[in-house]
Structure 1
């Protein structure tokens, strides 16, 4: 069995080095639902668990021939025999099975079982598509900044040497300081360049909801409009001694009519019974899917409500502190947070949220501290570094702000809004080269 499902193991691995670029609701779509549908597809296509998909009884037709014919040709049940009274009285032994008049009795054809593996596999791909789109729009920016910084708490023991343990790379203290510079520069330079980044995330999350609604609608059509109420009927009827919804939607015994020419050239009609072993698995798969889709719908709506809250309240300091704590617990300086979020638009705030999700408390505090130092708490001065470069020659008085070539100092932040008025800043060496992280914008 493990060999059968080995193809989906890679999606269930817990990877400490994985960079987080989405939330738990998003993962429920592209990871858990994707894996669930792949497992269901493998179960349906594996004969070792359910044997032959269909076995038909015929008096004079060779078994392999009638089995193949009835599997590829829709079988049927008789509608008037779908009643509990006849079943309890012993008039019929299976729902929908009994004598019928071809010209008068209404029949219900069953051909969906031929398409179940293709439908399940197609649905699994549909649930993965929004994730692919978001990864393309995100462009690997978060990973380029935070990859390898998960174990940064151990850097104080490494000093100038980094360490690699398996797939984990523990950076040295010097490398960590350089990465802080990268994150800070990139965040500042992106302040007006990532306007669509947050919109793409919201669109991808809405795509998850749209896709889920489409898959529920399509599954309902696929099962003859019986899927929407399937779970409720199962809970109400499954444990009573009578015909239930699963017997109607997934009949275990069906009828099949086989025609052939006799020795004299006359057309012969063979009425056969077919045992649908495949439907034993189908009924359980689609029942589980009903409950899973219901749970997923609730979680997706809650996720979009959360996104709506972030859209309206991301400028609130209290909300931001709570949101960042929820992303990863840790204390943050309220004045530093306020200085940063006042200069952020929604896309910047989302970018900051994912930075917090992937960085340790120690490192994120340092990033926030140095970001806050770049933003004067003054309406005259803009947070964008390029705009500040243009304004400084006109608005800045001599000695009020340091030279722009000194903005990369990490150990002594230069524009700290809490510094005493008139305080001087120690000179630092000019920046020798631009950091590669600015190329991510």
Structure 2
């Protein structure tokens, strides 16, 4: 039973199609690298001999084992060979190196921290979004290898799901204060949540660099470059003091009521691995932090800039030569799709390809035109969807509405004298002014 739950947990952490490559670089590839390093260090520590000490000749094998265990647990301190051993024990303690015992646990914690934004994203997306981004994108990916008829049916199914989800999202948010606060009322819950997760990824990776420096006891922001420069200049550990192989250890033993002080010299073979591992991790974190920061800036621009959303949708509409005027595309993007609809299309485009994205945009465009032509007319005032009185919309009025050329709103209102009083009632599944 326990193995079953563990398998389910690891299966849930597999990469999915509701995020981009930079997210996978953080929570999947980086975590896998860190876990691999943690296993290597753990094997050396708990299977091999991480420390060996040079003890006096009178020490028995049991005393030698006790000395090595004590020095491993209670820390050692680095002292260059040509320096005299300080007489002050306080100075010796100030030189102690206390990180090497905790390396596997720190690496495991770092890997977990890279997974936390991913867990939050999937949990909040499933719990409160109302849009199954993973399911819709996976359907689009599966439809790529289908024949034309089956792919067309899948595209219309996806378009219908998106339309229903976005409409329900707007209706539910009118009665849900939490949904309104977090963007569902404005069709932006998923987009805002994704940008927030991007911020968490960025904060996490920069925090990892800071944690790495703190763990190693250095305040040097460019620690990795400093270590690399030492290696390129031929400055080994015995000069720099970084990841020393040979250290000193002080311990006391009580023999016949008398306390005896001993100072021994020990070899930390594990530091040979730690030096290379932490150097690689530091540069990996530095690279991931730059990539993640660029990705955050990219998603902030394409998600929050209205022109970028219009340009994205217009690209696919122009590919099929369906529309040329800018006003109709703006209404389609801002009032019908919203931020979350465009976000879903971006995910589908990134994972299923431009062909599937083009077919889906065309299907949504036709659904949008059909809905506007029908009675009642769907109008969007600001962020709230308002349904006008049921009338038949002429072809001229339809084109004028798409182009934004409707200075006289009465031609849409059907002579409703109560328009503007703010009173609404439900009628045939729509909100209607009475």
Q: After TM superposition, is the score higher than 0.5? A: yes
Paired residue total: 356
Q: Deviations over 1:16-40 (max 9, x none)?
A: xx74111222122111221121111
**Structure 2 CA distance for partners of 1:227 and 1:281, relative to 1, 3 Å:** farther
Partner of 2:291: 299
The question of 1:182 aligning with 2:141 is answered no
Q: Deviations over 1:254-313 (max 9, x none)?
A: 0011211234x3222221111001111111111011101111111121111102211343
Partner of 1:239: 232
The question of 1:310 aligning with 2:302 is answered yes
Structure number having the greater helix percentage: 2
**Structure 1 residue 366 displacement after superposition:** 2.9
Indicate if the aligned counterparts of 1:234 and 1:246 stay in contact, CA closer than 8 A.
no
**Structure 2 CA distance for partners of 1:41 and 1:345, relative to 1, 3 Å:** same
Q: Deviations over 1:322-375 (max 9, x none)?
A: 9x78xxxx9455738655324243333223312333445444333212322343
In 2, the alpha carbon distance for the partners of 1:64 and 1:138 equals: 54
In 2, the alpha carbon distance for the partners of 1:199 and 1:20 equals: 18
Partner of 1:99: 85
In 2, the alpha carbon distance for the partners of 1:133 and 1:261 equals: 54
SS at match of 1:40: helix
Q: Deviations over 1:67-98 (max 9, x none)?
A: 111100111123xx4xxxxxxxxx63xxxx65
Q: How does 1:331-342 map to 2 (within 5 A)?
A: 331=319, 333=321, 335=323, 340-342=332-334
In 2, the alpha carbon distance for the partners of 1:299 and 1:367 equals: 30
Indicate if the aligned counterparts of 2:18 and 2:137 stay in contact, CA closer than 8 A.
no
1:285 to 270, 277, 293: 277
Indicate if the aligned counterparts of 2:213 and 2:223 stay in contact, CA closer than 8 A.
no
Partner of 2:392: 397
In 1, the alpha carbon distance for the partners of 2:162 and 2:117 equals: 27
Indicate if the aligned counterparts of 2:378 and 2:387 stay in contact, CA closer than 8 A.
no
The question of 1:64 aligning with 2:68 is answered no
TM-score normalised per structure 2: 0.70
Q: Which runs of 5+ in 2 are unaligned?
A: 1-6, 171-183, 404-428, 430-434
SS at match of 1:238: helix
2:343 to 324, 335, 350: 350
User: Aligned-pair RMSD on alpha carbons?
Assistant: 3.8
Indicate if the aligned counterparts of 1:19 and 1:358 stay in contact, CA closer than 8 A.
no
Indicate if the aligned counterparts of 1:250 and 1:283 stay in contact, CA closer than 8 A.
yes
Partner of 1:431: none
**Structure 2 CA distance for partners of 1:321 and 1:189, relative to 1, 3 Å:** same
In 1, the alpha carbon distance for the partners of 2:153 and 2:322 equals: 28
